Chain A
């Protein structure tokens, strides 16, 4: 593979441009975390300096942990995200298996029906969703959020997983059938383990919008006991606008888990978005 060599000058420019944009992308995040570890004077006097021994202070974090129930918010977000992903993956994989494995009347039509949700956002039905949740007595419960996010995650999960399930060899499944495995056993014991990488990709994809959503927590579960981290920090920061230590600490607390997960899963995520083009 001979590629035309890039001149050092051109490659220098490319690096300069990419590095410049990298700084633009990272700077606000770094700035926030850096200043959350300083005392109030230092935040204003030397916002661009790293915290030193004199300026280091955790006052913001102590305020946040004392005033807002951030541990509770985290717990809520975690429960909602994990349970929704679990059901979206389980139900999605089951439906994807049925659509890709069996031929039955209405298969294509059902596939199209389940794909509507990829393009049409679930938010547009909020008026009636709220009405339904009020009628079912689910307002201010995590169940309401879990139901909504499961439904929101299903279309893409079914779409991606059925593509992958088509690639699982028929011979394997037929061998299982000859050995007397039920269709359920074939799905759970043969097919599911084989599409695990695709499931991981779907899980990462589904997770980000659920964790970050503000709309549904705001409308369906604004109560103190059911606030998610996104809504919790939104409300908290709104109340503490003038307390810069607290605001920066709350922001950092909201960033950390996402940042850690992102560092761990970024390869998986990027490979998923680029459909495997990036190795």
Chain B
């Protein structure tokens, strides 16, 4: 890079002209990105401090947040959505990521036959849309079609079958597991790549010391892929606290039954866009979006400054 600069300097040594081309290269991306992404984001944060009083937009400070956290019309819905969102995230962390690590560990066994086939097949659900995935599982879990009871009968568990998506107690877990089914390909691939990047010498040295199989995975490989696991966790976090499509498809905008699967994304949609009899409320929508922004920002900062810097990285 430096040589490029110096050569340019030497050509145009007298009165350095403005390098307009830099501006031309940067401007389109900068304008689109700022106008459609950053400015609306800032505007949304700003709107959360305003509300309509007597038909006029007025600065109300943190009153919207007070309403959201404390007012009886809003608080119950909000805290339930927040709690559900944390459960949604926890299930992903407990099921999706360990499953992804296990699949990646098996796929990365050297000279495993059919590895490319398994890899491609397991990643397939990840490229399908939430709409497709949501409806397919709705059909499969439907008591009318009877696919699920049939399979549970095969293993003698038919008695435990129930309309899981329709029961408040099990709906959130079921939806989370559908989402896990769809997204497990991402942790699998990222961790698979990390495992393949471990140099052979390290593995050979471990083998010379008699560390193989399970203990090799726990003692040698797992510490080496911790940065990838951290990365997967933060991607899961951002994805989960911004999720909407799957729940909207499977349970509708009301995130039934009885709001049992309501998360921040669906609450935001209903609040600012309106649904059925409920009118859209821009200020409260912006307030919820701001809360989501702060949650995601907190998670990302924790990752960037807390975890990513402390995780030991090994240079090969």
Contact = CB atoms under 8 A, between A and B. Distances in A.
A212 B129 contact: yes
B36 A129 contact: yes
B296 A127 contact: no
Interface in A150-175: 150-152, 154-155, 158, 166, 170, 173-174
A114 B11 CA distance: 31
Given A254-B132, A273-B189, A273-B190, A29 B125 contact: yes
Given A14-B106, A219-B273, A44 B123 contact: no
Specify the main secondary structure of chain A where it touches its partner.
helix
A109 interface: no
Interface string B186-230: 100110111011001001100100001100000000000000000
Interface in A190-242: 208, 211-215, 218-219, 230-231, 233-234, 237
A56 interface: no
Given A28-B137, A91-B29, A94-B28, A212 B128 contact: yes
A211 to B, nearest CB: 7
A182 B297 CA distance: 42
A44 B149 CA distance: 13
Nearest to B7: A174
B242 to A, nearest CB: 4
Given A124-B292, A230-B129, A273-B193, A251 B136 contact: yes
A97 B26 CA distance: 9
Interface in B234-292: 234, 238, 242, 244-245, 248-249, 265, 268-269, 272-273, 282, 285-286, 289, 292
Contact of A32 (B122, B139, B186, B212): B139
B120 interface: yes
Nearest to A101: B4
Nearest to A275: B193
A127 B24 CA distance: 31
Q: Which range contains the number of B residues in contact with the other chain?
A: 35 or more
Contact of A132 (B7, B40, B249): B40
B44 interface: yes
Interface string A69-95: 000000000000000000100111011
B3 A187 contact: no
A234 B203 CA distance: 49
B41 A128 contact: yes
Given A104-B22, A124-B289, A273-B189, A154 B32 contact: yes
Interface string B98-141: 00001100110111111001111111110111111101110110
Interface of A: 1-4, 6, 10-11, 14-15, 17-19, 21-22, 24-26, 28-29, 31-32, 43-44, 47-48, 87, 90-92, 94-95, 97-104, 110, 113-114, 116-117, 119-132, 147-148, 150-152, 154-155, 158, 166, 170, 173-174, 177, 182-184, 187, 208, 211-215, 218-219, 230-231, 233-234, 237, 244, 247-248, 251, 254-255, 258-259, 262, 266, 269-270, 273-275, 277-278
Interface of B: 1-5, 7-8, 11, 19, 21-22, 24-26, 28-30, 32-33, 35-41, 43-44, 47, 102-103, 106-107, 109-114, 117-125, 127-133, 135-137, 139-140, 145-147, 150, 181, 186, 189-190, 192-194, 196-197, 200, 203-204, 207, 212-213, 234, 238, 242, 244-245, 248-249, 265, 268-269, 272-273, 282, 285-286, 289, 292-293, 296-297, 300
30 contacts: A3-B110, A18-B114, A28-B133, A28-B136, A29-B124, A29-B128, A31-B140, A95-B26, A95-B30, A104-B22, A117-B37, A120-B296, A120-B297, A125-B43, A127-B44, A127-B286, A128-B286, A129-B36, A151-B35, A155-B33, A177-B11, A211-B129, A212-B128, A212-B131, A214-B245, A254-B129, A255-B132, A266-B123, A274-B190, A277-B194
